[in-house]
Amino acid sequence: MTTLAIGLLSASLLWEQISAEVDAGLEAAFKAAVARVAPAVVQIQTVGGLETLPTGAARGGPLLRGLGPTTGLIVAADGYIVSSSFNFVHLPAGITVHVPNGQTYPARLVARDRTRMLTLLKIEAHRLPVPAVTPKEEIHVGMWVAALGRTLSVSPQGPPSVSIGIVSATRRIWGKAVQTDAKVSPINYGGPLIDVYGRVVGILVPMSPRGDQETAGVEWYDSGIGFAVPLEDILRVLPKLKEGRNLGRGLLGIRWQAGHPLTAPPIVGDVLPGSAADRAGLRSGDRIVEIDGVPIERQAQAQLVLGPKYEGESVRLKIRRGEQTLELGPVALGADAPILRSAYLGILPMRDDATAGVEVRYVFADSPAAKAGLRPGDRIVTCNKLPVTDRNSLRSALDNLLPGTEIVLGVKRQGTEDKIEDIKLTTALAPLDDRVPDQLPVGTRKQAQAAGRSPAVPAALEKPRQPADKPVPAKQPQAKPQQPAKEVRKGAWEHHDPLSGHRFWVYVPENYDPNITYALVVWLHPPGDPMKDVILQVWRDLCQEHHLILLGPEADAPSGWVTSEADLIKSDIQYMLSQYAIDRFRVVTHGLGRGGDMALYLAFDAPELIAGAAAVGGTLDHLPAREPTRRPPRFYLVAGQRDPRLEGIRSLRPRLLERNVPVHWTEIAELGSGYIPQADGIRHLVRWIDSLDRL
């Protein structure tokens, strides 16, 4: 009876509520929710540090740092505070934390979670308020959330700034973040994303699926695309962070077989020696069917399972190899893999060569090849007893070997009185080096057909080794992705896409010959000035002489290149590959100043597409993610000693070498922030490009 009475009473109360406006109720509810969390939302002040943020090449000049305070969230009563690593990327001299109770403390930076862009701070305080957490299983797409920040708070005791939106998705950035359309920006990075009850869903951070710098994803601020790392996940690793351990990504150490990453099947392309995958016994060609019991159909699904994992965490794999299905692991995931130098023989292969085997075009002095007595004109026909059909087969053979490995080469040599000798040569492979020959023999077999000829060719090498009537190969695998049916455009031409407004210009030598593989030089201009005429004037003859094609994309904004444009450039390159006979191993980005930054960025961003980057006065504040890669991009760096950015440019070299990346370094005394002054300097660069396909 009484219950009924209560029921009726509460019913009438409820009726009141129901007839109240939804939005009024929502307003009230969120104010209560904010009030509940606010005591745990701290304001962070920093002193000193860089006035601009290192943003990687891509944002067309560095980001100016805000002068305002930033935000953090108390996660432990004894003074642990989690914030976004973005807030400390400027390397401040001092950090202080204002707790809403009015106290101010100096803070110590305890540890970083590099996978989730988080930083843990410690202040010497006790009995701090700790917010409630929203369990992950209760985070639903469409639920109300609010993003709180302290940047705009006049006083740390005042109300935090609030932006209200909904949860847009729950498994983003490879399963590491919740996505919201509440406005997320430097105003609230490091702050909490809360639900309507005043529980914390996660910590707001800039994030992007394409890059792991602290600043990646900042370009999307306030766009309705915001991310928060679920607090439940953070609490799981909090003990480790408290110990002062920086947490990094766990890598399996494979590269997928080419294909659209979101749709392609999970077939292993190659396995990095020494990686977790290697230790687990994974092989190229294996198809992954399960990871940790989760069925895998696509590469992206595998990434979704692996993405959240930390270095040291272990995984189980179920794979299909041919007919059989195998269980592999558990194996502990490795740390960020250093880029390996592929094993190096020390020759340049002759290109556009129809005959089976690889003709040696050039032998690098005191390289393994030289030590073995290999000579120009020799034709390598077997490698470790396996037949070598063309330079690609030799390359893939070497790719699966590490420096130091002994190999046996079968070689045919033009002996005296024109008889062919078969010889066996043995040598130990060395790590790739980046020396540039002083002069190079012509690089293509098709020279006979090609108009013009390099004067740099020593007479001895001019005599064609094959009869001129040798059948022309219909297609060089990889060299010509799609032989265009129609007559290709030659000379200088421009493309302007009327819809996107995107432009690029192209120069194809008038003597272009589809039977010769060309190198592609992608010119990335400095902010504001495409420099088309200058570059054309300097490069035109070289292009004809040395079989180069120029591609000159133009930046959207006068302020210079931005991240999203990397994709436009890549598709421009794809387009060129589909139209012309271009050697994939000699696609080079080349830029001046901030264009140079972009050139370097692209080489890291798309190593499978770009063989090298030649930057004049270019640098990268942050080197992009270390994707495990087999064929590291090469770098050709030119620094002007009068360049105001000289220090930054110089700082790049050691960082690249530390990553085991081949770097060719030149400093020019009288050069400021301009382009390579002397012609021989450019000829040197051309030889570097010409020798990029070294084996």
Partner 1 sequence: MRRQLAGWVGAVCLAWVSLAADVPPVVLQAQAHRQALIARVSPTVVAIFAASGEGGGSGVLISDDGYALTNFHVVYSPSSPFLYCGLPDGHVYEAVVVGTDPVGDVALIRLVPRHPGQKFPYAPMGDSDTVQIGDWCLAMGNPFLLASDFAPTVTYGIVSGTHRYQYPAGTLLEYPDCMQIDASINPGNSGGPLFNLRGEIIGINGRGSFDKRGRVNSGVGYAISINQIRNFLGHLRAGWLCDHATLGAVVDTDDSGRLLVSRVLETSDAFRRGLDLDSELLAFAGRPVQSVNQFKNALGIYPRGWRVPISFRRRNPDTGELERKDVLVRLMGAHATGQLTDILQRKQPRQPGQPPAPMPQVPATALPAFSDTLKRMYEARDGFANYYFNRLEREQLLTRFRRHSDARSLSGPWQLSGTFASGTRIQATLEVDTESAALTLADRRYRIEPLREGEASENLREPKGSGGILLLAYHWRRLLVLGEKGFEAAFHHGGWEPFYPKGIATRHMTEVLLSEHAGVSCKWYFDTTDGKLVGAECFPERDEDPCEVVFEDYRQVYGQQLPHRMIVRFGDKEYGVFTWNQWQITAKP
Partner 2 sequence: MSFAPRFGPSLCTAWITKPRVAWTAALCLTALSAATFSVRAADRSFADVVRNVQPKMVKIFGAGGYRGLTAYCTGVLVSPEGHILTVYSPTLDSRELRVHLYDGTRYEAEVVATEPQLDVALIKIRTPAELKLNDLPYFDITAPIPDVQPGDWVLAFSNLFEIATGDEPVSVQHGVIAAIAPLAARRGVHEAPYKGTVFVLDAITNNPGSHGGIVTTRRGEWIGLIGKEVRNTLSETWINYAMPIKDLRRFVEEARRGVYKRMPAPEDTTKIVQPLAEHGIVFVPDVLDLTPPYVEGVLRGSPAEQAGLKPDDLIVFVRLPASPGSSDYEERVVPSIKSFRQLTASLEPGTRIQIIVRRQQQLLTFDLTLAPRPKGNPAPAKKDSSL
Residue 356 binding partner 1, by CB under 8 A: no
Torsion, Cα 564 568 569 571, to 10 degrees, reads: 140
500 binds, among partner 1, partner 2, none (CB under 5 to 8 A by kind): partner 1
174 binds, among partner 1, partner 2, none (CB under 5 to 8 A by kind): partner 1
> Of 20-59, which residues contact partner 2 (CB under 8 A)?
21-23, 26-27, 30-31, 34, 45-51
Q: Which residue has the tokens 């006065």?
A: 617
Q: Which is nearer to partner 2, 293 or 501 (CB)?
A: 501
Q: How many residues bind partner 1 (CB under 8 A)?
A: 89
- Binding segment for partner 2 (CB under 8 A), chosen from 92-100, 249-257, 379-387, 532-540, is 92-100
Q: Which is nearer to partner 2, 221 or 575 (CB)?
A: 221
- Binding segment for partner 2 (CB under 8 A), chosen from 105-113, 301-309, 483-491, 628-636, is 105-113
Residue 183 binding partner 2, by CB under 8 A: yes
171 binds, among partner 2, partner 1, none (CB under 5 to 8 A by kind): partner 1
> Given candidates 290, 292, 336, 556, which one binds partner 1 under the rule CB under 8 A?
556
CB-based contact 229:202 (threshold 8 Å): yes
Residue 220 binding partner 1, by CB under 8 A: yes
> Given candidates 108, 236, 475, 496, which one binds partner 2 under the rule CB under 8 A?
108
> Of 193-252, which residues contact partner 2 (CB under 8 A)?
221-222
Residue 65 binding partner 2, by CB under 8 A: yes
Q: Which is nearer to partner 1, 25 or 387 (CB)?
A: 25
Residue 459 binding partner 1, by CB under 8 A: no
CB of 73 to partner 2, least distance (A): 18
Torsion, Cα 653 681 600 64, to 10 degrees, reads: 80
φ, ψ at 273 (rounded to 5°): -55, 135
Q: Record the tokens describing residue 111, joined without a space.
A: 């540890």
Q: Record the tokens describing residue 486, joined without a space.
A: 């129609």
> Of 113-132, which residues contact partner 1 (CB under 8 A)?
132
507 binds, among partner 2, partner 1, none (CB under 5 to 8 A by kind): none
Q: Which is nearer to partner 2, 92 or 230 (CB)?
A: 92
CB-based contact 136:185 (threshold 8 Å): no
Nearest partner of 73 among 237, 204, 222, 165, judged by Cα: 204
Q: Which is nearer to partner 2, 20 or 472 (CB)?
A: 20
End-to-end CA distance of the chain: 91
Residue 464 binding partner 2, by CB under 8 A: no
CB-based contact 598:58 (threshold 8 Å): yes
H-helix segments, 358-495 = 368-372, 391-399
Tally of helices (H runs) and strands (E runs) in the chain? 12, 36
Half-sphere exposure of 393 (CA within 13 A, CB side): 16
CB-based contact 692:585 (threshold 8 Å): yes
Torsion, Cα 651 657 661 667, to 10 degrees, reads: 50
Q: Is 524 helix (H, G, I), strand (E, B) or coil?
A: strand
665 binds, among partner 2, partner 1, none (CB under 5 to 8 A by kind): none
Type of residue found at 26: L
The total number of residues written for the chain in this structure: 695
The rounded distance, in Å, linking the Cα atoms of 678 and 143 is 63
Residue 19 binding partner 2, by CB under 8 A: yes
CB neighbours of residue 658 within 10 Å: 10
187 binds, among partner 2, partner 1, none (CB under 5 to 8 A by kind): partner 2
Residue 105 binding partner 2, by CB under 8 A: yes
Q: Is 502 helix (H, G, I), strand (E, B) or coil?
A: coil
Binding site for partner 2 (CB under 8 A): 3-4, 6-8, 10-15, 18-19, 21-23, 26-27, 30-31, 34, 45-51, 63-69, 92-94, 96, 104-106, 108, 124, 146, 151-154, 159-164, 182-183, 185-187, 221-222
